[in-house]
């Protein structure tokens, strides 16, 4: 029989997941901020800019 995890373990896992997710979102936003115009122009030249 499995015992349920303690509340602290659940909070710790949730905090780690939230930290990793916010770090990934920050890196993605920074990349888009820095290279957004180049990305858009590449899509525009290939005809894929309609999705923006």
- Decide if 23 contacts 32 (C-beta within 8 A): no
Per-residue pLDDT tens digits for 1-52: 466 678 889 999 999 999 999 999 999 999 999 998 898 888 888 877 666 5
In whole angstroms, give the CA distance from residue 42 to residue 31: 15
d(CA 32, CA 28): 6
pTM above 0.75, yes or no: no
Annotated domain spans of the chain: 23-52
- pLDDT given for residue 4 in this prediction: 65
Residues 11/17, Cβ–Cβ less than 8 Å: no
């Amino acid at each position: 029989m499995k015992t349920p995890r303690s509340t602290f373990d659940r909070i710790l896992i949730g905090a780690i997941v939230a930290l990793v997710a916010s770090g990934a979102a920050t890196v993605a936003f920074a990349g888009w901020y820095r290279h957004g115009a180049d990305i858009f122009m590449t899509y525009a030249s290939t005809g894929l800019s309609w999705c923006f």
